[in-house]
Structure 1
Amino acid sequence: MMNDQLLNLLYKENEAHELYEQANREQIERTERELNFELPVSYREFVSKLSNGAYLYGVQEVSSVGDGNHQIYPIQHLYKQLNIAAPFQKVTISDNKDILLSELVPFSLDHNGNAWCFIGDQLIKGEYRVGYLNRENYQLYGVLANFTEWIKILINYKEEVIRQLYDDDFLCNELSLG
């Protein structure tokens, strides 16, 4: 669950973000129906209390729900794009467990075509783990407990989350990020 303190921190720094109108319940429910996936509580709170899609600190996108907005794609469209070619593609999680690509719901794209995703294999207290999908090798990196933990890292460092989890050598050599 996303606590109001984190949302307030983001709101107080609103000049550092591109924020949009908040999502309503109908947009969230429609998105969940289209995805056939229950969105985590923390993400639902983000889009309904802060912004329906956002570009935070000029470095990290968070997808929208419903029809999206003029800048940021809705999460269900990202899911369809990710899965259109190979929904049965196996993806390796860093704990050496494989899941299907169709069990990942992307919520944040980067300029390399990689994405932070909700890992839909376990819903624990309304939350999913999140991980960074490298689309070159179909592996998940930087697995975190939930979306709230991801947001905390972003707030603390104001940089792309993946860059806070790994050193430059790993980012360049393993993830092909410059």
Structure 2
Amino acid sequence: MVKEIIKEAENNMKKTIEVVKKEFASMRAGRATPALLDKIMVNYYGTPTPINQLANITVPEARLLVIQPWDKSSMPEIERAILKSDLGITPASDGTVIRLAIPQLTQERRADLMKVIKKKAEEGRVAVRNVRRDTNDHLKAAQKDGKISEDDLKRNQDEVQKLTDRMIKDIDSILSTKEQEIMQV
């Protein structure tokens, strides 16, 4: 029973780290990546649809994204969705493809991005700590019910703390990688 509680905590913490990675991937760091468009939803025949389900997205150059819709009639809606998004990029269309030129980041924009990624990383750390708290609550309840001894409780809480420290360290390393990517000129 205790092993399942700790295993579930580890899985939840790993899911949190995946969320942080996705958040970071969708943030513009001066380099073109299809993940920038992951959060953008296009109104396709009245249904909000992700761009990657409507078009082929390629990166022919380091600072250029090319979106080639499978249905040419969806191009205006894709352009509109990109303009409404918080990317701050104006799409250029030639009738068959949409080009997104990723501009160089200004020093001010880099500072803003640093604040945002630090906030996202802290949210991830808080989520990991919340999983730790919930797991420790489950362990205490198991001890209260007489399912585990006080020594087992302490041992398992130490194991959960080590797991938490490892996951927070992972978030910190992901954060430092993204910081380097953003500050790279």
Could you state the TM-score of these two structures normalised by the residue count of structure 2?
0.23
Higher RCO (CA 8 Å, separation ≥ 6 residues): 2
Higher helix content, 1 or 2: 2
